[in-house]
Structure 1
Amino acid sequence: MSMLVRDATPDDVHAIAEIHVASWQSTYKGIVPQEFLDTMSVDDSAARWMRSFSRTTCKLIVAEIDDVIVGWCYSGYCRDDDAHPTTAELWAIYIHPNAIQRGVGQALWKNAKESLASIGYTHVIVWVLKENLQAIGSTEDWLATGRCRKDDCYP
């Protein structure tokens, strides 16, 4: 198995969207309304992710195993109003359901953390759904603060 983590390109958008939809439909089943999950569209997701390339304050990276994209991570400035300017946010990290437990998430997180540190960020926050035990269980590097917020659910 050969893994490569690299910056995403517009050519990757369809694979990113496929992973986005597959991850949501797998991970959030029973957490998010099924009707919402059923109506998720790879084409709609791809259009949203294509627009992300115009954001210069955020970074989108992908992980490939044997030349196939199996995960991605999106990070950048922290969207919290009360965040310190040196606090970044891990906006999203998704692994294809078939690639879970293969070190993909750790490789993406390591790359994102190094990239954020290289541009001056000293802290990173991540928000997860409280029912997403898989995400909570994979955050050994994180310190849980217990902070909660109500947010609209959208992919």
Structure 2
Amino acid sequence: MGLDLRRAEPADVERLAAVHVRCWQETYRGMLSDGFLDSRVPADRLPLWRHLLESAEPGVVWVASDGGTLVGFAGVHHVPAGDTTHAAAPPSSGDLELWGLYLLASHQGLGLGRRLLEAALGTSAASLWVAADNGRAIGFYRHFGFEPDGAADTIPDWEHLREIRMVRAGQPRQ
């Protein structure tokens, strides 16, 4: 397999939207209703991906591909001061937040998740939000130094999916 990582480009918009929705459907099946997940369509994600790839700073979104087929992505941004995305305040203003790391189920366990995380964050201090019932993801993030900090929230538009925040301190470069 030709498993590669690179920075996302504007030409990736449609493929990112499709992978994003497919990953949601694979990841959240059993946590959210089938009707909710089946109603998600790539066309609904296109405006977000266009915005991210046209206005984001370089290196904010990384994509993983297998022989040229997009199979996952990771996105990171700085949490702005006064962020109100979640009810809980950010750990501290301006910290990095991993806002998404998704891989198709067929490509999990191959080291791509680690590679995406390292490309997006390196060893920087960061935070992320993860579904409270997603034990596999929580275990993955713990392996890379993230721990729950006690903050929790729900996403009302997502059938009140409960999330927890995980954080890690920066690691010295070696």
Q: TM-score range by the shorter chain?
A: 0.7 to 0.9
Secondary structure of the corresponding residue to residue 142 of structure 1: coil
- Structure 1 segments of 4 or more deviating over 4 A? none
Q: How many residues align?
A: 148
Q: Over the residues paired in the alignment, what is the CA RMSD in angstroms? A: 2.1
TM value normalised by structure 1: 0.83
Structure 1 residue aligned with 2:129 = 127
Is the 1:90–1:126 contact (alpha carbons within 8 Å) kept by the matching residues of 2? yes
Is the 1:22–1:97 contact (alpha carbons within 8 Å) kept by the matching residues of 2? no
Is the 1:5–1:62 contact (alpha carbons within 8 Å) kept by the matching residues of 2? yes
Of structures 1 and 2, the one scoring higher in RCO (CA 8 A, sep 6+) is: 1
Is the 2:13–2:53 contact (alpha carbons within 8 Å) kept by the matching residues of 1? no
Is the 1:78–1:125 contact (alpha carbons within 8 Å) kept by the matching residues of 2? no
AA aligned to 2:60 is K
* Aligned mates of 2:90, 2:138 — CA distance in 1: 23
AA aligned to 2:16 is I
What CA deviation, in whole Å up to 9, does each residue of 1:117-138 have, x standing for no partner?
6xxxx41111101101121121
Within 5 A, what are the aligned runs for 1:20-31?
20-31=20-31
The answer to whether 1:102 aligns with 2:105 is: no
Secondary structure of the corresponding residue to residue 131 of structure 1: coil
Secondary structure of the corresponding residue to residue 93 of structure 1: strand
Identity %: 26
Within 5 A, what are the aligned runs for 1:108-123?
108-114=116-122, 122-123=124-125
Gaps of 5+ in 1: none
Secondary structure of the corresponding residue to residue 148 of structure 1: strand
Gaps of 5+ in 2: 84-88, 159-174
- What's the CA shift for 1:37? 0.5
Within 5 A, what are the aligned runs for 1:5-154?
5-56=5-56, 59-78=60-79, 81-85=89-93, 87-114=95-122, 122-139=124-141, 140-152=143-155, 153-154=157-158
